[in-house]
Amino acid sequence: MKAFEVCKGYAAVLALDDVDTDLIVRIERISQLKRGQFQPWAFETMRYRADGSENPDFVLNRPPFRDARILVTGANFGCGSSREMAVWALDEFGIQCVIASSYGDIFNNNCFQNGVLPIRLAREQIASIMPVAASGAELTVDLRACLIRVPGLEPIAFSLPESQRVALLNGQDDVDQAVAREARISAYQAADRAARPWVYA
């Protein structure tokens, strides 16, 4: 997993609540595609018209937001069914950070397993960011300092569990973290085997 330290770039505004994982990537694509193939299908039903042409009204089809690295959205983002491919689609599109007031629990965890930073802010804070982001100004998300820098606004602090922050900074998913603790795990197992040999019979 790639490490996350600082993300600077355009922030696309998707001012919607309850964007579910089926809207991020349709279930039909999950059975057809492999990881690395989801970028064209992120937000498919919003990005494309019925004839397959791009919808010019959708934010991710408009410059400069075709190159957005940050998504600013509403409440309960990533709700619905538990599909990791929704995070893959965002990541492959280039979205490194999502700013919302709340998330679907499984989607939130999947972000941390795939190097995408989900930030929770109050609705009022998001409302202050949206017009600046929509103007095409670049935002900076600094995970080391836990700050969002928005032109014309005071820096906005955010928080997340320290274990998740460190894991993202180090580019470690759950498996990577377990491997990094291999020596401690082996030492514990050896001590436990000596103390309770009957368990290992």
What's the confidence (pLDDT) of residue 194?
A: 80
What's the confidence (pLDDT) of residue 184?
A: 77
Give the chain's mean pLDDT: 93
122-130, long-range: CB < 8 A, 24+ apart: 123/74, 123/75, 125/156, 126/72, 126/74, 126/99, 126/100, 126/101, 128/153, 129/11, 129/72, 129/99, 129/153, 129/156, 130/13, 130/15, 130/72
Q: Is the pLDDT of residue 137 over 80?
A: yes
What's the confidence (pLDDT) of residue 181?
A: 66
What's the confidence (pLDDT) of residue 176?
A: 61
What's the confidence (pLDDT) of residue 175?
A: 63
What's the confidence (pLDDT) of residue 185?
A: 75
What's the confidence (pLDDT) of residue 180?
A: 63
Which residue ranges form the domains of the chain, and what is each CATH number?
6-170 (3.20.19.10)
Cis-peptide into 64, omega within 30 deg? yes
Amino acid at 90: L
Q: Which helix (H) or strand (E) holds 8?
A: strand 6-14
Give the pLDDT band of residue 190 (cuts 50, 70, 90).
confident
For residue 33 the two structure tokens come to: 């595609």
**Residues 10-57 pLDDT 10s:** 999 999 999 999 999 999 999 889 999 999 999 999 999 999 999 999
pTM: 0.88
What's the confidence (pLDDT) of residue 142?
A: 98
Residue 94 CA, distance from chain mean position: 10
What's the confidence (pLDDT) of residue 91?
A: 97
**Residues 70-121 pLDDT 10s:** 999 999 999 998 889 999 999 999 999 999 999 999 999 999 999 999 999 9
Mean pLDDT value of segment 175-182? 63
Residue 77: name the closest of 109, 99, 110, 47 by CA.
Answer: 99
Q: Is the pLDDT of residue 183 over 70?
A: yes
Q: Is the pLDDT of residue 129 over 80?
A: yes
